[in-house]
Structure 1
């Protein structure tokens, strides 16, 4: 089994990037859950406030303005419900900005995740390529040598200016590539490191791809976010 000391630097980077992106997405999803909960609580407070308002006005009129202790308590309750709804409104504005900032961070970690995967997979593939070239079958080399000689004696390709080495290289490359493509993907999963890296680009589920892939939009987004945060802080200090 591969130990941490044996892991290529690209794989270490990839695992770190994957873990960081996973944590950032958890944070983002947590904020989304908080927003959903607060919206539900705010709506409940608004409905409670409307009901308390209606009941209080009805009782206030029926008692001809006589403020009993019970009526005073109901008055305090309706004000409290209204204030609670307002507090939720302010909190939701902050959470909306937190959500946007969190998504921005997720885009950063997602980019590192994808790029580190590309580096790790490329390094793995290149290492195996070089290993295969160093350990190529002597019988295959012998067969290629024979094919080169065959092209001298009985050319397969037309044209006096043909390059027999390039022609045979094309034949060999095509034959080997087709044979490799015919292998099932399951053979790739036999390599422990490749099981960690994965055959495909990481799926960035939940990521705002416009924000992820559009630098110009990203700059506008960051500027707008900073302005909104500053305005919200000013309002909170009033």
Structure 2
């Protein structure tokens, strides 16, 4: 079910927030994949360097220090493997900072995503509620009016609740029970609601604790800036 009064502003905000958060999570996951790959490459370079070091030293001693062209080439290779491992170590440090910064971005977009989902869902629900009230069945209204009259005809001993309150509770309970008995799939018959989603967005892979703590996010952002500043100073020396 949908209504012509449905305001598209909240829906547009929700869709934009969902797209932004999806892109942020893709960026974060991409950095995580880069870190995993670099760690493997670094470990491979370390192992290759260890093997080259052992082989070179053995041959160096066997040749009594006679540096043949082949031995010189092996020497260059072991140095290259060592330097490559060091380069990966430096790169991993930078990627870790990128990963933390990306998670901060994900936390910000996740907050916007969940809030815009709440607004879009609530607006859709409220619009349909108001529309249903405007088009309520005359037969149902007649029956409710008759029930009110029944309360007047049969006065109760206690006066804790008015006739209106008694009937309102009866109607609300009856309608709520009937609505609750409907399967969830009937809600998805509304394309717009299927687009919004019946539940809060699943924030898979997000640091929920970080998202919920502004203080932690502030400290992390400050730490990232400080570490990047220190690295920049080292490069300039």
> Normalising TM by the smaller chain, what interval?
over 0.9
> What SS does the aligned partner of 2:187 have?
helix
**Worse overlay, 214-223 or 168-177:** 214-223
> Counterpart in 2 of 1:228?
227
> What SS does the aligned partner of 1:81 have?
helix
> Counterpart in 1 of 2:144?
144
Q: Trace 1:56-205 onto structure 2 (pairs within 5 A).
A: 56-155=56-155, 158-205=157-204
Shift of 1:216: 1.8
> What SS does the aligned partner of 2:19 have?
helix
Shift of 1:233: 2.1
Shift of 1:158: 4.4
In structure 2, relative to structure 1, the CA distance for the partners of 1:178 and 1:73 (3 Å cut) is same
In structure 2, relative to structure 1, the CA distance for the partners of 1:192 and 1:77 (3 Å cut) is same
Shift of 1:50: 0.5
Q: Distance in 1 between matches of 2:209 and 2:231?
A: 25
Q: C-alpha offsets along residues 24-76 of structure 1, whole Å, 9 cap, x if unaligned?
A: 11111110110000000000100011111111111111111111111111111
| Uncovered stretches (5+) of structure 1, i.e. residues with no partner | none
Shift of 1:168: 1.0
Q: Distance in 2 between matches of 1:128 and 1:105?
A: 35
TM-score, normalization by structure 1:
0.94
Q: Indicate the RMSD between aligned Cα atoms, in angstroms.
A: 1.5
Shift of 1:79: 0.5
> What SS does the aligned partner of 1:27 have?
helix
Q: Distance in 1 between matches of 2:7 and 2:36?
A: 42
TM-score, normalization by structure 2:
0.94
User: What is the number of equivalent residue pairs in this alignment?
Assistant: 233
> What SS does the aligned partner of 2:203 have?
coil
Shift of 1:7: 6.5
Q: Distance in 2 between matches of 1:160 and 1:38?
A: 77
**Worse overlay, 146-155 or 196-205:** 146-155
Task: Write out the 4+ residue segments of structure 1 that deviate beyond 6 Å after TM superposition.
Answer: none
Shift of 1:234: 2.3
